[in-house]
Amino acid sequence: MTIQRFDDEDALAAALATRVLEAIVANPELVLGLPTGRTPLAFYRELRERSGDWSKVRTFNLDEFVGVDGDHPGSYRAFMQSELFDHVSIDPANIGMLDGRAPDLKAECRRYEAAIADADGIDLQILGIGANGHIGFNEPADGLCAHTHIAELEQKSREANAQLFGGDWTAVPGRALSMGMATILGARNIVLMATGQEKADAVYQMIEGLITPQVPASFLQVHPRVTVMLDAKAAIRLKPDTAR
Ligand code: GLP
């Protein structure tokens, strides 16, 4: 893992936006994996404010709530439209999102895996991390799913998403569709970003701990091209010279 430290989340977001826009210049048909959450907000703001040719870029989002329509303000589809897609030149046909309202959720998961394979895989997967070490909605468990699947959400994760549902965590769906660990680890390059002290333990376990399904992000240790971008608070438990 390559560890990059930044003074604050704005510096991190600027550096990540530069990396993504340079990757798009190098490969206009870049296939990007994208996260939601509070952490990437500054990154998406940077992308909105800078010019880039998104016309041939393809994207696949990590996850979506079950039972929530794309028009619902709590959906990750709505989040992505307002934070990024409505503001850049991306072709709507090139936006990959899971449909949480699909009548057959297992078939929807299979469709998504096939769509990613048809795109020849993900070139650059951007990730956040949950305070419990989850990535996408791969929650800590005795075992993890390899491929896109229906995930049961922990209360902690529903609470973390409550602001999308009027501040009421019980209004957050208890299930989501999520890329699996093999879907994520299949990306050719991965960048995980984490900011704030509430992520410091998860970041420490991800980097310094054993690989365990109780910390899903720890599986990133097996991937050959992972960059972890941290602000000072998220890096607080790491030794100053931690870099691998
Ligand atoms: C969410 C998403 C994850 C995200 C994580 C952290 O629930 N499913 O993809 O990385 O939890 O979110 P935040 O950035 O708001 O802390």
pLDDT tens by residue, 115-138: 999 999 999 999 999 999 999 999
Q: What is the dihedral of CA 132, 216, 243, 7, to 10 degrees?
A: -40
Which of 64, 76, 134 for mutating ligand 1's site (highest number of atoms within 8 Å of CB)?
A: 134
188 within domain boundaries: yes
What does the block give as tokens for 206? 């991800």
Domain of 190, in residue numbers? 2-231
3-state helix, strand, coil in the chain (%, to 5): 40, 20, 45
CATH number at residue 118: 3.40.50.1360
Instruction: Write down the catalytic residue from 139, 149, 161, 231.
Output: 139
- d(CA 48, CA 208) in angstroms, rounded, equals 35
Told to judge if 72 belongs to the known catalytic residues of this protein, a careful annotator would answer no
For the chain, the domain total comes to: 1
Atom 1 (ligand 1): residue with closest C-alpha?
A: 37
pLDDT higher than threshold 70 for residue 243: no
Asked whether the whole model's pTM tops 0.85, one would answer yes
187 within domain boundaries: yes
Told to judge if 223 belongs to the known catalytic residues of this protein, a careful annotator would answer no
137-170 pLDDT, tens digit each: 999 999 999 999 999 998 988 998 999 999 999 9
pLDDT higher than threshold 80 for residue 244: no
Instruction: Write down the catalytic residue from 9, 46, 108, 134.
Output: 134
Mean of the pLDDT values across residues 27-33?
A: 98
Q: What is the percentage of the chain residues whose pLDDT exceeds 90? A: 94
Mean of the pLDDT values across residues 226-239?
A: 96
Give the closest residue to 118 by CA, choosing from 99, 94, 138.
94
Mean of the pLDDT values across residues 106-122?
A: 98
38 within domain boundaries: yes
Tell me what pLDDT residue 51 has.
86
207 within domain boundaries: yes
202 within domain boundaries: yes
211 within domain boundaries: yes
243 within domain boundaries: no
Q: What is the percentage of the chain residues whose pLDDT exceeds 70? A: 99
Q: Assess contact for 151 and 167: CB atoms under 8 A.
A: no
99 within domain boundaries: yes
C-alpha of residue 38 to centroid of ligand 1, in Å: 7
Atom 7 (ligand 1): residue with closest C-alpha?
A: 157
52-66 pLDDT, tens digit each: 999 999 999 999 999
What does the block give as tokens for 120? 């020849």
Q: Assess contact for 233 and 14: CB atoms under 8 A.
A: no
> Which residue(s) pair with 65 in the sheet?
176
DSSP string, 88-149: S---GGGEE---TT-SSHHHHHHHHHHHHHHTTS-SEEEE---TTS-BTTB-S-SS--SSSE
Told to judge if 139 belongs to the known catalytic residues of this protein, a careful annotator would answer yes
